[in-house]
Structure 1
């Protein structure tokens, strides 16, 4: 094609038996070289625009039609992310790369610059195309249930950074006409500046890899990080940030490297387990703790949960006291207490609660006495792990405690209120 165009140009200057070389060096042709070059340059631009419009219309319409007719979703996602639109830009660029040698054949120096410029734009368009393909790959993978909790976006961003660095090296190599290794060596001398300018990006890059490799955070995890006021579900894991949607629907953005350098709580282990822990204590007045009277024992032995327990324990106590020779009024004699009976009652109550996991730890324990009373702690695991129904299970347990504790002649500590103070003043004035 080049030779045909060259012969066509020379046909305007044929004069007798002049050779092509003679025409090329003739004064008449030399005066018209610039005009021919400008004319062909304008023609190349116009043809490139027409080819771009044609390739875009034909390619996009044809591919969109195929995407609409196909049953798969990946082609629709490629269309949505304008991947084929980017590919359509390559056709006129390849045409210009081929035609430039014809347009600037009389100006070799200008040809070199033109080819470099076209190649740089070509590499840039290829980079954009690959970026859009990676975006489409991310969207396709995020739709898979098995990968829904994986930080796919973080992986894609890492791939984009590596690819961008490689393409920038190629573009600089084309512009400077130097090998990529020499440019990479020059960048090595600028390492200190790069580390200073891109510190957060590099930290985020390394942290993102660590989070992914160690499976520390997944999309959908419930995390708590008091330093940043985060308490909610992870909705996005990026190269530089982790987004958490708090339970009040606000969004907290946490730097990715902070998830590595600082501590945070991930509730995934609880969500994947067989139960959610209940660990809450009530404070009982020490003055209300006493030995259970025969009347109390007789009354409580009628309760379904305590009948067998009280009968068995009374038999053990009687045997022990008889062996030691302790009378019923002896201080050293073994006796049941109202607090001990209440602990036993609550254990039976929890064992018979259908919302409590019986295969996990379950206890009602007495903690160290404090100035506010004797803490009695409920420690067990709820089968229900979702927040709202879980709180209902906990509330039901402690509602029962508050309502039934007076049956054991125990009282719960609470600070004096204004009502208490008014009642005291009335008693003093009476």
Structure 2
């Protein structure tokens, strides 16, 4: 096909009165003429077709074509035009020099392959950026596939270029790769493992850009910025960067906080230890005092009726061991539960518990198990601090004390 096109061009040049080199026309002038034609073709394509396409892109409403223009995809493909023109007409100017013509022809073929690969690379980069803008990369490791395709194209271009320069079939060189398979596996071990890991990460949606992951083995605790073919880039909360091998996320354990982010709630699971010696039954004065607290008015009234009905059926009800009575710690737990149910920053559609855990040497733990409706770290910490500020401050109202281990000075005073 190439030879047929060249013969048609040669016939056309002869028909318009342009002699061939064997008619005495200087080969150098013909080469310069070929270069001039190629340059004119490039200018026409770039200033005409590419510029017109860029104007259309700028006026369009969609944004993905602007990214292609940003990466100069059309400009890079336009550089193929002069190479193709030279590939067709330059051998015609070198018919008197077959060796030079053959060498120029092969070099131009290699140049066309290189320019084509560069154009495809820029198109792939643009496609990767479009995927990032449209958040497709959060579902699929687009960059890994782009890098893999680039690597594949690189090797194909190398094999084609070598086969063109050596004037051998590409199959001849591909068959030789079988012998070097072991070496290829060794050199590209991380690439192969990373690609397989990337497929597993994508199929199982284990990690995506924007996820908050924690992997103590590699010192990673922050947001995933990039998932590439061989590594995962994590920007830690202290602004340091951690690079994790992609296959490590498949073979090792790590924590992904994406579920918390998508749920809209962030967990608070924290206990306050009550000094057991401060726990007791409520006195009449304490009941009267606590009855003024809005959150537990209904609770105290309901318990008063319930306990009165029970105690009326019990003999010797004046003894605490035979009858039921309200405790300050139970009333405190009921207050905390109502306080959380009415807190504007507590997620009411998720688990909400105030529970009593097994007592320890550090007192009786009352655990608050809730979710905040603001998952942002700083705001979450503020909400948690405000809640426990209130919890510690309200303890004396119920006659309770938080457990605090005595200091050395306190122990020495007890001994004295």
TM-score, normalisation: structure 1: 0.82
Matches of 2:29 and 2:377, distance apart in 1: 70
Q: Does 1:198 align with 2:184?
A: no
Contact 2:91 2:104 in 1 (8 A): no
Question: 1:330/1:283 Cα in 2 relative to 1: closer, same or farther (>3 Å)?
Answer: closer
SS at match of 2:309: helix
**Other-structure match for 1:277:** 267
Give structure 1 stretches of 5+ with no counterpart. 13-35
Question: 1:8/1:291 Cα in 2 relative to 1: closer, same or farther (>3 Å)?
Answer: closer
Q: Per-residue displacement from partner, 1:288-319 (whole Å, max 9, x unpaired)?
A: 22233333233223322222222322333343
Matches of 1:283 and 1:149, distance apart in 2: 44
TM-score, normalisation: structure 2: 0.84
SS at match of 1:233: strand
Q: How does 1:300-379 map to 2 (within 5 A)?
A: 300-379=290-369
Q: Does 1:169 align with 2:159?
A: yes
Matches of 1:65 and 1:100, distance apart in 2: 29
* Partner of residue 59 from structure 1, selected from 24, 31, 45: 45
Contact 1:44 1:96 in 2 (8 A): no
SS at match of 1:223: strand
* Partner of residue 71 from structure 1, selected from 59, 77, 98: 59
Q: How far off its partner does 1:185 sit? A: 2.7
Q: How does 1:403-418 map to 2 (within 5 A)?
A: 403-417=393-407
Moved more, 371-380 or 96-105: 96-105
Matches of 2:272 and 2:336, distance apart in 1: 13
Matches of 1:180 and 1:332, distance apart in 2: 97
Matches of 1:289 and 1:178, distance apart in 2: 92
Q: How far off its partner does 1:104 sit? A: 4.5
Contact 1:346 1:364 in 2 (8 A): yes
Q: How far off its partner does 1:354 sit? A: 2.1
**Other-structure match for 1:152:** 142
Aligned-pair RMSD on alpha carbons? 3.0
Matches of 2:33 and 2:316, distance apart in 1: 115
Question: 1:2/1:417 Cα in 2 relative to 1: closer, same or farther (>3 Å)?
Answer: same
SS at match of 2:347: coil
Contact 1:48 1:93 in 2 (8 A): no
SS at match of 2:370: strand
In the alignment of these two chains, the number of paired residues is: 400
* Partner of residue 77 from structure 2, selected from 79, 87, 90: 87
Whose radius of gyration is greater, 1 or 2? 1
Q: How far off its partner does 1:378 sit? A: 0.2
Moved more, 245-254 or 262-271: 245-254
Q: How far off its partner does 1:209 sit? A: 2.1
Question: 1:226/1:361 Cα in 2 relative to 1: closer, same or farther (>3 Å)?
Answer: same
Q: How far off its partner does 1:279 sit? A: 0.9
Give structure 2 stretches of 5+ with no counterpart. 1-8
